Amino acid sequence: MRLSHFWWLMEGEFGASYAHVLADTLVLSAHQLTVTQALDAGIPAREVWESVCDQQDVPAERRLGKDVPPRR
């Protein structure tokens, strides 16, 4: 997962402003680092996203992001 996709998912689920606040304050129990620290430490974005989803109880149907209709 690219970092840009990670932030698209975070902002889609938590809102543009709160996603960044959450990333700076939520300590991931699996890594004992905040989201931002985990990404900076080189932990794959997909693994960080899955940890965020687990801790924040994001339902499985929303973990891939919003459905976007194809362009015509």
Tens of pLDDT, residues 9-23 = 999 999 999 999 999
70 within domain boundaries? no
Please name the residues in contact with 8: beta carbons below 8 A apart, sequence gap of 6 or more: 65
In a domain? residue 15: yes
What are 33's strand-pairing partners?
Answer: 28
Is residue 68 domain-resident?
no
Number of domains in the chain: 1
Nearest CA-CA partner of 65 in 20, 12, 26: 12
Q: What is the pTM of this model?
A: 0.88
Q: What separation in angstroms does the CA of 72 have from each of 58, 65, 69?
A: 31, 21, 9
Establish if 35 belongs to a structural domain.
Answer: yes
Residue 57 domain-assigned (yes or no): yes
Residues 6+ apart with CB under 8 A from 29: 51, 55
pLDDT tens, N- to C-terminus, the chain (72 residues): 999 999 999 999 999 999 999 999 999 999 999 999 999 999 999 999 999 999 999 999 889 887 777 888
Q: Which domain holds residue 43?
A: 3-24+31-61
